[in-house]
Amino acid sequence: MIKPIGSDELQPRFVYDSDEHDKLSHEAESLPSIVVSSQAAGNAVMMGAGYFNPLKGFMNVADAMGAAENMTLTDGSFFPVPVMCLVENADAIGDAKRIALRDPNVEGNPVLAVMDIDNVETVSDEQMATMTQKVYGTDDAEHPGVAAFNGQGRTAISGPIQVLNFSYFITDFPDTFRTAVEIRNEIAERGWNKVVAFQTRNPMHLAHEELCHMAMDRLGCDGLVIHMLLGKLKKGDIPAPVRDAAIRKMVELYFPPNSAMVTGYGFDMLYAGPREAVLHAYFRQNMGATHFIVGRDHAGVGDYYGAFDAQTIFDEVPAGALEIEIFKADHTAWSKKLNKVVMMREAPDHSKEDFILLSGTKVREMLGNGIAPPKEFSRPEVAEILIDYYSNLPK
């Protein structure tokens, strides 16, 4: 199986030993504590689950700047985005060297992790501006990722963490949330050697389904891991439980047995386009995938990124930093001429009118009116689940 990044075995930051877990949980209740941002909580969950291997904790400002500017930390190791614990102020923790980090997304703010503090630093406006521009490619406050990143405060607390729980992801998505450790184990149990991963924050329509089949066939893969984001999205995106139900129905009906796993991970979407595509590849290697599908405008939002920027950025990744291979995909759609789904770049004799193309707005409008999109666009069983969701939204 493909090795994790930076170590021979995964080194998740979750405390699995039950005695140590109990001891640490008890200690945490007496430690100074701080409620972190949702983005920091997601970072803690990803470190706990092994996805950010070999990262041991939150970055100091120098490492965060290195990650933002050239995807390299001060020790020379590779990481594509800053992973920071930014707060409004650190007064609540005083001079403590060990603190509890509390979860902003669960009622009562339970302890999420314990941190050994290495540094408490003030991030300058100039540093925030540089990180924002390098990671998101824009400083537009209307960009949801930019707004979330810049809304966290300017005090950076850094140091290694020990994670005690996986926030609401375990309770809300018990059948879908999986750690990188668990996915690696299941890949081994299934006997898969060549594995392609597919990222989604949306339900999968026919074009997505066929793209996965194309990738599996062309790469000669044993299996597919459909890996959906379970954290916070922007307004208007379809909630994770609905996506989960739709995707599971599609896999049940249209994929052969033992060919696809439906899983999810706990993280807030960055909408950082190219830089987030590299992060997605990073943690897919850690979970055991050998290949990763990167499509048109991967992880983008609005018109901030070029159609294939999320593919060309991999040319900037330092040599040897990633072992996972990228399957570069174009937009896929139903060809009226060929009577099947194709990659649009592979149909040069086609005009736009030769494809069945529906905008997201049009699809939402149809579903909201109880109308299933054409079978060339969406599986009827998937459409039925989405129609049920839209019909129950407040009018």
**Residue 301 near residue 145, CB atoms below 8 Å:** yes
- Shared domain check, 254 and 162: no
Residue 354 has a pLDDT of 95
What gap in Å lies between CA 129 and CA 215, rounded to an integer? 38
Mean pLDDT score, 278-282: 98
Whether residue 86 is contained in a domain is answered as yes
Residue 206 maps to which CATH number?
3.40.50.620
For residue 83, what pLDDT is reported? Answer: 98
- Residue 200, SS3? strand
List Cβ neighbours of 302 (8 Å cut-off, separation of 6 or more).
Answer: 142, 143
Residue 71 has pLDDT above 80, yes or no: yes
- For residue 3, is it within any domain? no
pLDDT at 236: 73
| Residue 186 and residue 159 share a domain | no
User: Are 116 and 60 within one domain?
Assistant: yes
Q: Is the pLDDT of residue 395 over 90?
A: no
Q: Are residues 88 and 155 in the same domain?
A: yes
Residues 160-185 have pLDDT tens digits of 999 999 999 999 999 999 999 999 99
Which residue among 116, 149, 167 closes a domain?
A: 167
The pLDDT tens digits for 331-352 are: 999 999 999 999 999 999 999 9
Name which of 101-105, 237-241, 267-271, 280-284 the model is least confident about: 237-241
**393 falls in which pLDDT band (50, 70, 90)?**
confident
pLDDT-derived band at 240, boundaries 50, 70, 90:
confident
* One domain for residues 116 and 225: no
Q: Are 309 and 346 part of one and the same domain?
A: yes
CA distances from 35 to 87, 90, 143, 229 (A): 9, 11, 24, 23
- Considering the domain architecture, whether residues 209 and 346 belong to the same structural domain is answered as yes
189 — pLDDT class (breaks 50, 70, 90): very high
How much is the pLDDT for 238? 86
pLDDT 10s digits, 247-263? 999 999 999 999 999 99
User: Which pLDDT value is given to residue 201?
Assistant: 86
For the record, the structure tokens of 39 come out as 């983005």
Q: Are 229 and 199 in contact (CB under 8 A)?
A: yes
Confidence of residue 288 (pLDDT cuts 50, 70, 90): very high
Domain presence at residue 369: yes
Q: Which domain holds residue 363?
A: 174-265+271-391
Domain boundary among 133, 167, 201: 167
User: What pLDDT sits at residue 241?
Assistant: 87
- Contact between 388 and 216 under an 8 Å Cβ cutoff? The reply is no
13 is a domain residue: no
Let me know if residue 5 belongs to a domain.
Answer: no
208 band by pLDDT with thresholds 50, 70 and 90? very high
Which phi and psi (to 5°) does residue 393 adopt? -75, 145
Asked if residue 190 and residue 128 are part of one domain, the reply reads no
Q: For residue 89, what pLDDT is reported?
A: 87
Whole-number pLDDT of residue 239: 85
Indicate whether 233 pLDDT > 80.
Answer: no
Last residue of a domain, one of 127, 152, 167: 167
Residue labelled with tokens 């392609």? 196
- Measured CA to CA, the distance from residue 142 to residue 136 in angstroms comes to 12
pLDDT above 90 for 389:
yes
101 plus 238 within the same structural domain: no
Yes or no: say if 304 and 140 are a contact pair by the CB < 8 Å rule: yes
202 catalytic per annotation: yes
The pLDDT > 90 percentage for the chain reads 91
Is 195 in the same domain as 319? yes
Please indicate, yes or no, if residue 2 is contained in any of the structural domains: no
Do 222 and 90 reside in the same domain of the chain?
Answer: no
The per-residue pLDDT for 111 is 98
d(Cα 393, Cα 145) in Å, to the nearest integer? Answer: 26
Question: Are the C-beta atoms of 294 and 277 separated by less than 8 Å?
Answer: yes
Residue 234: is its pLDDT beyond 80?
no
For residues 159 and 203, state if they share a domain: no
pTM of this prediction? 0.94
pLDDT at 35: 96
Q: How far is CA 248 from CA 104, 164, 206, in A?
A: 29, 29, 14
Looking at the structure of the chain, the number of domains it has is 2
CATH number of the domain that residue 154 is part of: 3.10.400.10
Mean of pLDDT over the chain: 95
Q: Is residue 7 part of a domain?
A: no
- Provide the 10 A C-beta neighbour count for residue 190: 14
Which entry of 202, 218, 258, 379 is annotated as an active-site residue?
A: 202
**Catalytic residue (one of 201, 258, 275, 296):** 201
**pLDDT value at position 12?**
98
Task: Select from 271, 270, 278, 272 the least CA-distant residue to 314.
Answer: 278
Residue at 8 is within a domain: no
pLDDT level of residue 206 (50, 70, 90 thresholds): very high
SS3 per residue for 64-126: HHHHHHHCECCCCCECCCCCCCEECCCHHHCCCCEEEEECCCCCCCCEEEEEECCEEEECCHH
